[in-house]
Amino acid sequence: MKINSQKTVTKLSIWTLLFITSSFLGGIISVLLYLGDKSNFGSIAEWVGSIGTVVTVASVALQIRTEHDWTDLKQKERVRPVFVVSKQNFIEKSNIIWSCYYSLNQTGMDWTVVQCINENSALDVIVDIKGWVPIVMNGEVNRYQRERRLIPIPGLSSLSVLLDTSGMKVDLLNIFYKSSKNEINKLSIEYQHSCVSFPQYTNSHDCPDLIKEYSDFFILLDQYSQQDNNYIKVGSYKHTADSKFFGTSKFVLTYQKMWEKNNQLMKAYFPH
């Protein structure tokens, strides 16, 4: 779509230039013919030749500008990152997790895996997750409450990372980032009724409003206060699933309980 629009703009510019030149040339010829005295103003052929020179120079300048814009566009397209996004039930050893929370529930489920699948990297990343979290009372889910998690990340590359969507029914996942050409990009995935939409990519070249949307996040981050907003959770905490991460007695006890519960469910659904 972008390529076609670029060609259309170029064609319109050339036709506009030719129309203006033709009109100007026609006006000059009309004036010369009206005055009748060509000795003071030069012949019609001289005027046509001079104007033709101006048109040639303008056409060359327009062509150079068009080729420059086209080259710059292709360079931006080449450095745009492409991601694969998937789900992972449990944290595995050596996983890297980005969360808005200082501490994690190591036994949580439904983490989101993000990995860049080309050689490009995403810079100054902001992850925006919108969804619902359960409110548990007396050991049972009483209701669901809206929650939005904002996670600033320095960058994403070919090394896969986990995003903290654990314990959350995600409706929308947006990932904002810059390319190495300083272009703003956006990846969006919708989750509706257990169906996941195909990733949608947007860039600031096609959608200039994306620049303001990206800038507004930094205003929100600067003005954020945990005490004033229970709906939005903001944080940038990097957790590495090493031996120390899994080595607490609390984790071992919780994991054993979860394992026993899963075994009970398996026996209930698949009795021997």
Q: Give per-residue pLDDT as tens, 19-66.
A: 566 655 555 555 555 555 545 555 555 555 666 666 666 665 566 666
Residues 105, 69 share a domain: no
pLDDT for the residue numbered 254: 60
pLDDT for the residue numbered 127: 96
Residues 148, 70 share a domain: no
pLDDT for the residue numbered 138: 80
Residues 94, 61 share a domain: no
Phi and psi dihedrals of 22, rounded to 5? -65, -40
**75, 95, 129 — which closes off a domain?**
75
Q: How confident is the model at residue 243 (pLDDT cuts 50, 70, 90)?
A: confident
pLDDT for the residue numbered 230: 75
251: in domain: no
Residues 54, 10 share a domain: yes
Residues 117, 21 share a domain: no
- Specify the DSSP element, H or E, that contains 148: strand 140-156
147: in domain: yes
Summarize the confidence of residues 232-244 as an average pLDDT. 86
Between the alpha carbon of residue 206 and those of residues 123, 183, 191, 258, 259, the distances in Å are 19, 11, 25, 48, 49
pLDDT for the residue numbered 45: 59
pLDDT for the residue numbered 18: 58
Residues 121, 51 share a domain: no
Residues 11, 49 share a domain: yes
110: in domain: yes
User: Cβ(159)–Cβ(115) under 8 Å?
Assistant: yes
Domain extent, residue 12, equals: 2-75
Q: pLDDT (tens digit, 9 = 90+) per residue, 62-94? A: 666 665 565 767 888 888 999 999 988 888 888
123: in domain: yes
Q: What's the structural domain count of the chain?
A: 2
Residues 98, 64 share a domain: no
Summarize the confidence of residues 258-271 as an average pLDDT. 56
Residues 125, 233 share a domain: yes
Between the alpha carbon of residue 4 and those of residues 1, 24, 27, 35, 73, the distances in Å are 5, 30, 35, 47, 13
Angle between helix axes 2-35 and 44-78 (nearest 10 degrees) is 170
Residues 148, 67 share a domain: no
257: in domain: no
272: in domain: no
Comparing CA positions, the residue from 198, 178, 180 lying closest to residue 188 is 198
Q: How confident is the model at residue 197 (pLDDT cuts 50, 70, 90)?
A: confident
**36, 52, 75 — which closes off a domain?**
75
194: in domain: yes
21: in domain: yes
pLDDT for the residue numbered 178: 94
Q: pLDDT (tens digit, 9 = 90+) per residue, 99-134? A: 998 888 666 678 999 999 988 999 999 999 999 988
**pTM, to two decimals:** 0.67
Residues 96, 161 share a domain: yes
How many Cβ atoms sit within 10 Å of the Cβ of residue 86? 11
pLDDT for the residue numbered 116: 92
> What average pLDDT does the structure give for the chain?
76
Summarize the confidence of residues 215-219 as an average pLDDT. 88
- Reply yes or no on whether the pLDDT at 195 is more than 80: no
- CA-to-CA distance for 67 and 80, rounded, in angstroms? 20
**75, 94, 124 — which closes off a domain?**
75
Q: How confident is the model at residue 8 (pLDDT cuts 50, 70, 90)?
A: very low
Between the alpha carbon of residue 109 and those of residues 2, 31, 166, 258, 272, the distances in Å are 40, 82, 5, 11, 28
Summarize the confidence of residues 5-9 as an average pLDDT. 42
Residues 183, 203 share a domain: yes
